[in-house]
Copies of this chain bind each other. A is one copy, B any other.
């Protein structure tokens, strides 16, 4: 635990991703860790929280591009009016998208439950028929 921050392998251990992945997120601008004199990366608690958010987004099937837009809300320069407006606009868009997905997923869940029930019923019938067979 380098002077109050995390090394890359700390995060690798904690989140179960590779160092390449973490560096890649930096490459595309999702993370901006500080460096020691020797060029080693140091991740702050803020960086760690960001990474956690990125990985949550990925598990939900969002692209890194979408995640980048989402994260932007947390990175607004508190004196820049234009940034607030754009950030909030984007955030509302994503909020709508999230809600849409929740509804769609619920719909899919219902369909799947129904299909499972029907399939299980058919399966029971098959088993019963097998039981009645003389051979």
Contact = CB atoms under 8 A, between A and B. Distances in A.
A115 B73 contact: yes
Contacts of A94: 112
A79 B126 contact: yes
Interface in A21-65: 56-57, 59-62
B104 A60 contact: yes
Contacts of A123: 81, 84-85, 88
**Number of identical protomers:** 2
Contacts of A59: 104
A120 B60 contact: no
Interface string A58-82: 0111100000001001101011010
Q: Is the interface of A mostly helix, strand, loop or mixed?
A: helix
A87 B119 contact: yes
A113 interface: yes
Interface string A79-115: 1010011011001101100110110111011001101
Interface of A: 56-57, 59-62, 70, 73-74, 76, 78-79, 81, 84-85, 87-88, 91-92, 94-95, 98-99, 101-102, 104-106, 108-109, 112-113, 115-116, 119-120, 122-123, 126-127, 130
